[in-house]
Amino acid sequence: MIVPYYRPRRLRRNENIRSMIRETQLSPKDFIYPLFVVEEKGVKNPIKSMPGNFQWSIDLLVEEVKNIHQLGIPAIILFGIPADKDDRGSDAMDDNGIIQRAVKEVKNAVPDMYVITDVCFCEYTDHGHCGAINNGEVDNDSTLEMLGKQVITHAKAGADMVAPSGMMDGMVATIREALDENNYHQTPIMSYAAKYASAFYGPFRDAAESAPQFGDRRAYQMDPPNVREALHEAELDVEEGADIIMVKPALPYLDIIRVVMENINLPVAAYNVSGEFSMVKAAGEKGWIDENKVALEMLTSIKRAGADLILTYYAKEAAQWLNE
Ligand code: PBG
């Protein structure tokens, strides 16, 4: 029988030593909390497939943001769901649209909260695609023009950062130029650079009422088996002027997060998407897993893989668990 000479277990014997050599520390400061905003007043509409998440009217959203701020979460990302949708998603480019009013009121009430806006059209179009349709396809270049308009309304409303998620070619360059021409040189762009055509977005599309009414998004979002393409997308966005590179989804794409982190010298964000959240939530509700531990392990893994920022529907609960 051998007697081991090396004994890694020496450094695992109690919590003191484990915590001293811990390489990754999860903190509420890592989180960006996604929120959905709708018209009218007094609305707190539960999202069935995402327990604990709601569609908020602006008045109640503002109150919720105060709670989020108190938990030490530094940032939120807002998704607007207008009452009326049309083929070009006009509400998205309106200074008085749902998202623009929401940003204004949140910044007014909680100036310290860092407010990011999702820059896309799928929640605003009646067909549910991420841009203008031409001959049955999402037309890249006319969508770019619309993005240039949209982003100025967000900056005007007081958004601290904009996050284009539509996977249009040239979207980052277009947005940077539009911001700079309008004197928003200080507004950073967090680009959804490597965004996959993922089935993990299912619950979000209920929340944002943004499921495509025909076809799917595979002609503009990335093919899940690819990794080189993610790096190419990230490199293009760096050249175009992105400030932060996002990988999405997160948990099934930890390898992509790692590759981007090792090759791109910008902060990396990862979107722990709706399906990742809902799977853990559902298994927790069934009593099949210990939700709190699994959720924190998942978020820690995303950070360990290389994410500096994590967009997650667990932000509130995880912050509470971490603060306990
Ligand atoms: C598009 C957008 C989507 C998500 C964030 N921004 C949906 C999509 O591409 O269909 C998904 C986020 C999630 O699943 O949590 N505006």
118 lines ligand 1 (CB under 6 A): yes
- Proportion of the chain above pLDDT 70, given as a percent: 100
Q: What would the pLDDT profile of 163-213 be if each residue is shown by its tens digit?
A: 999 999 999 999 999 999 999 999 999 999 999 999 999 999 989 989 999
The answer to whether residue 107 is catalytic is no
CATH of domain 24-323: 3.20.20.70
Query: By alpha-carbon position, which residue is closest to atom 11 of ligand 1?
Result: 201
Residues forming beta bridges with residue 311, ordered by sequence position? 32, 271
204 lines ligand 1 (CB under 6 A): yes
What is the rounded distance in angstroms from the CA atom of residue 140 to the CA atom of residue 168?
6
pLDDT at 165: 96
Q: What would the pLDDT profile of 80-130 be if each residue is shown by its tens digit?
A: 999 999 999 999 999 999 999 999 999 999 999 999 999 999 999 999 999
Q: Ligand 1, residues 32, 36, 50, 120: which to mutate, most atoms within 8 A of Cβ?
A: 120
**Residue 322 belongs to what H/E stretch?**
helix 315-323
pLDDT at 10: 98
Q: How many helices (H) and strands (E) does the chain have?
A: 11, 12
Q: At what angle do helices 140-157 and 98-109 cross, to 10 degrees?
A: 30
Q: What would the pLDDT profile of 260-285 be if each residue is shown by its tens digit?
A: 999 999 999 999 999 999 999 999 99
pLDDT at 324: 87
How many angstroms does the Cα of residue 59 sit away from the middle of ligand 1?
Answer: 24
What is the rounded distance in angstroms from the CA atom of residue 36 to the CA atom of residue 207?
7
Domain ranges of the chain: 24-323
Query: By alpha-carbon position, which residue is closest to atom 14 of ligand 1?
Result: 201
Backbone angles phi, psi at 127, to 5 degrees: -90, -10
Q: Of the residues 104, 107, 248, 281, which is catalytic? A: 248
Q: How far is CA 141 from CA 89, 133, 160, in A?
A: 16, 11, 26
pLDDT at 164: 98
125 lines ligand 1 (CB under 6 A): no
Q: At what angle do helices 228-240 and 254-263 cross, to 10 degrees?
A: 50
pLDDT at 281: 98
What is the rounded distance in angstroms from the CA atom of residue 217 to the CA atom of residue 196?
9
117 lines ligand 1 (CB under 6 A): no
The answer to whether residue 195 is catalytic is yes
Q: What is the DSSP letter of 289?
A: S
47 lines ligand 1 (CB under 6 A): no
On average, the pLDDT of the chain sits at: 97
Q: At what angle do helices 315-323 and 58-70 cross, to 10 degrees?
A: 30
How many angstroms does the Cα of residue 168 sit away from the middle of ligand 1?
Answer: 14
Tokens at residue 173, please? 């360059």
Please list, in sequence order, all residues whose beta carbon lies within 8 angstroms of the beta carbon of residue 42, skipping any fewer than 6 positions away.
Answer: 57, 59, 60
What is the rounded distance in angstroms from the CA atom of residue 168 to the CA atom of residue 20?
45
| pLDDT of 294 above 90 | yes
Rounded mean pLDDT, 289-309: 98
pLDDT at 121: 96
Please list, in sequence order, all residues whose beta carbon lies within 8 angstroms of the beta carbon of residue 279, skipping any fewer than 6 positions away.
Answer: none
